[in-house]
Amino acid sequence: MDELETATLAQKKPSMIMTVAAIGVVTLLAAGGGWLVGGIAAPKPVTVEEAKALEEVRKAAEEKKTATQQAEAGGGHESGKKEEGLPRAATEANGILQLEPITTNLAYPTENWIRLELALLFNGPPDAPMAEQIHQDIAAYLRTVSLQQIQGPRGFQYLKDDIQERVDLRSEGRVTNIIFRTFVIQ
């Protein structure tokens, strides 16, 4: 009987050693795979040159916006130019109110910017305070969107649907349609 117990113990030791070895190999494979996927999926760090270029683009956009505001206020030489496209003020004839352009960075990757110009088609006379609330709500929403969510035609359609849903909730049915004037990702 002692020989049988000794043989059984001898058989259990190698199986336990094999189990520990198998767990160790699987752990090493998982760690290596995680390291590899992390290296592939992680965003590349922004170089100093890219950061300077992004800062210059941001400053140029701010200067252009300031110049445009001064021109609209009558302080610039461009105030005599005729506006092209839809007017920014409400037109009583068709109930369209164009929102100010929305420019913000995306949630991920944060170095990408989005610019969106929208017009709202009201059912009845346009409501400027409601339009401003909608503008702020859309701007806040765009800060939560990642580039992967809005890539391609299907992503753009999802973005349009999400914005339409937000506008419907905020306007309580007073806005019947959203007109996308421009959509740029940089």
Q: What pTM does this model have?
A: 0.52
Give the tens place of pLDDT for each residue, 166-177: 999 999 889 999
Are both 73 and 89 inside the same structural domain? no
Domain containing 51 equals: 46-82
Closest CA to 164 of 123, 129, 134, 132: 134
Are both 62 and 103 inside the same structural domain? no
Give the tens place of pLDDT for each residue, 62-108: 777 777 777 666 544 444 444 555 554 445 467 888 899 999 999 98
CATH number at residue 121: 3.30.479.30
Are both 144 and 120 inside the same structural domain? yes
Are both 112 and 73 inside the same structural domain? no
Are both 27 and 58 inside the same structural domain? no
CA distance 73 to 70: 5
